[in-house]
Structure 1
Amino acid sequence: MGNLHDRSHGHSHSDLKGRNLIISIFLNLLITVCQVIGGLVSGSLSLLSDALHNFSDVLSLIVSYIATLLAKKEASTNRTFGYKRAEIIAAFINAATLIVVAIILIKEASERFLQPQKVESDLVIWLSLLGIAANGFSVLLLKKDSQSSMNMKSAYLHLLTDMLASVAVLIGGLVMKFYEVYWVDAALTLVIALYLIFVGYDLLKESTRVLMLFTPNTIQVRQIVEEVGMIDSVKNIHHIHIWQLNENEVHLEAHVDFKEDIKLSEFDKVLGQIEEIVYHKFGINHVTIQPEYGKSDSKQIIVQD
């Protein structure tokens, strides 16, 4: 097995991610409490829906924070991969909650469309400004880490959509204040819900692919077969499995049939060649090869075990 290209992340980076998540958790708790009180006092459904979304942010950020702590735990004899998939599971949970919250909001908005209610717009305006400021700051804190971690991306998307939702609530508050058009409250809630489904679906699909051990979209198995097959001593490569463990690790295991009954030292050289090919051309950094010579097994590229 080869893992020459492992890359580890320092504890300081993980600690920084954890600190940023904790700051975001407390900011969103503050917003949630203020918006719930404000929504009940003003009668604004869009403000209450924003509060519900903020509360889902709090839960998702807590899940993300726990996942970052688990991901730092060492592997053991009964957990040989450690908790490396904790952040993928967190991303899946957070994406699913985005869609669930959206469905609840659609239901509430539909009922409010039928019975529009007068809303205290001044309170809506001030609390939406608070939401924009606090979520905007949280978005800036998590933006960099969201580019390299599916878990952090899920938390970032929660906060980004909530900031955009607060912008929508602000616009709605201004329209209700100056034009007294109260159905816009329900309309904005519906727009927020549809946007949540839009951003949540892609992340849900991406995290599901990793959890289901699907081959990453960027990797073409037949290209790997062609590249490895060009090595002189290799007859064919078959029985291939490729999966993504987390954002940083892609694994390949396969059987390689050799033209001759080579020595173990010669196999090690070929293994090194295979590792270099799949790492530099396909981004695969963990390789497990079963060498074979004249073995009568299936030579199909993909074999379901």
Structure 2
Amino acid sequence: MSHNHSHNHSHSHTDLKGRNLFISILLNIVITVAQVIGGLISGSLALLSDALHNFSDVVSLIISYIAEKLSKRKASFQKTFGYKRAEILAAFINAATLMIVAVLLIIEAVERFQNPQEIESNLVIWLSVIAILGNGFSVLLLKKDSEANMNMKSAYLHLLTDMMASIAVLIGGLLMKYYQLYWVDSVLTFIIALYLIWMGFDLLKNSTKVLMLFTPESTPINKIVEEINAFNSIKNVHHVHIWQLNEEEIHLEAHIDFNEDITLSQFDTILQDIEALLFSKYDINHVNIQPEFGKDDVKDVIVQD
């Protein structure tokens, strides 16, 4: 049994990531409060729906912030992996809330479309501009980290979709002000909801795969087994499990039959070669091998435990 970890993130980088999340939380609290008050005064469902989405942003950002802090905690006897899955769990929760909010918005949009109401468009326009600026700044803060971290991507998507929603609300406010097209408020709400579903589904699917211990799509088990089997001293590779612990670690465990009853030092040498192969070609950085010689067990590559 052995493992090899490769981490590229410094403490200063993770501290900066947490700071950016905290700033985004504060900005979205201000935006949410302003939009709720403005939506109630103006009667704009699109503004209230944007406020609801902003509120979900606040919740998701807080979840992401907590998860980011937890992920840095060390392992213990009770938590041997530490909290390394915290950010994946946060991504799953945030993606699920995106979908739920979207369904609620669709229901409200359909009801309001059947009974359009006059709306105070000036307030809608100014509040949407404030939301665009606030969310736009938050999007810029999180964009870099979102490219390499599923948790940060979930927070980034919440903010990006809310900025897009605010742009839609601004357009709606202008149409209502100059053309009295009050039904546009409901139509825009419906479009915002569909966009949320489209953006949230992929993240929900990917985070679910990690939580379910599915093998990453980019990791070819059959090819990996073939390459390990090509070692002269190895007779058979079986009982293989490959899963993604988080976005920095892919784990492999397997049973290996050897042609001869080798010594422990010989096994260590072979294991180092296997580790180097798996890390360099497949980014697998945690390898757990059970050596066997003449053991009578199931020799299938995949074995249901």
TM-score (normalizing by structure 2)? 0.99
In structure 2, the residue corresponding to 1:235 is in which secondary structure?
A: strand
**Equivalent runs, 1:134-153 vs 2, <5 Å:** 134-153=134-153
Structure 2 portions without partners, runs of 5+? none
Cα deviation, 1:35-87, whole Å, max 9, x if unaligned, reads 01111111110000000000000000000000011111111111110000111
Give the alignment's Cα RMSD to 1 decimal: 0.8
How far apart in 1 are the matches of 2:9 and 2:73?
A: 13
- Which amino acid in 2 is paired with 1:303? V
Cα deviation, 1:211-265, whole Å, max 9, x if unaligned, reads 0000011111000011111111111110000110000000000001111111111
Alignment correspondent of 1:162? 162
Cα deviation, 1:88-135, whole Å, max 9, x if unaligned, reads 110000000000100110010010010011111111111110010000
Alignment correspondent of 1:292? 292
Cα deviation, 1:248-297, whole Å, max 9, x if unaligned, reads 00000000111111111111111011111111111100000000111110
Runs (4 or more) in structure 1 with deviation over 2 Å come to: 1-6
**Equivalent runs, 1:50-61 vs 2, <5 Å:** 50-61=50-61
Alignment correspondent of 1:216? 216
How high is the sequence identity, in percent, across the aligned residues?
A: 68
How far apart in 1 are the matches of 2:294 and 2:236?
A: 11
Cα deviation, 1:172-215, whole Å, max 9, x if unaligned, reads 11111111111110000000000101111110110000000000
- Which amino acid in 2 is paired with 1:80? T
Alignment correspondent of 1:93? 93
- Which amino acid in 2 is paired with 1:36? V
- Which amino acid in 2 is paired with 1:213? L
Alignment correspondent of 2:62? 62
Alignment correspondent of 2:243? 243
**Equivalent runs, 1:12-161 vs 2, <5 Å:** 12-161=12-161
Alignment correspondent of 2:175? 175
How far apart in 2 are the matches of 1:286 and 1:78?
A: 20
Cα deviation, 1:129-181, whole Å, max 9, x if unaligned, reads 00100000000000011111110000000000000000000111111111111
- Which amino acid in 2 is paired with 1:101? V
How far apart in 2 are the matches of 1:4 and 1:282?
A: 13
- Which amino acid in 2 is paired with 1:46? A
**Equivalent runs, 1:198-277 vs 2, <5 Å:** 198-277=198-277
Q: Report the count of equivalent residues.
A: 305
Q: Which deviates more from structure 2 when the two are superposed, residues 290-299 or residues 6-15?
A: 6-15
How far apart in 2 are the matches of 1:242 and 1:18?
A: 30
Q: How much does 1:3 deviate? A: 2.2
Q: Which deviates more from structure 2 when the two are superposed, residues 45-54 or residues 263-272?
A: 263-272
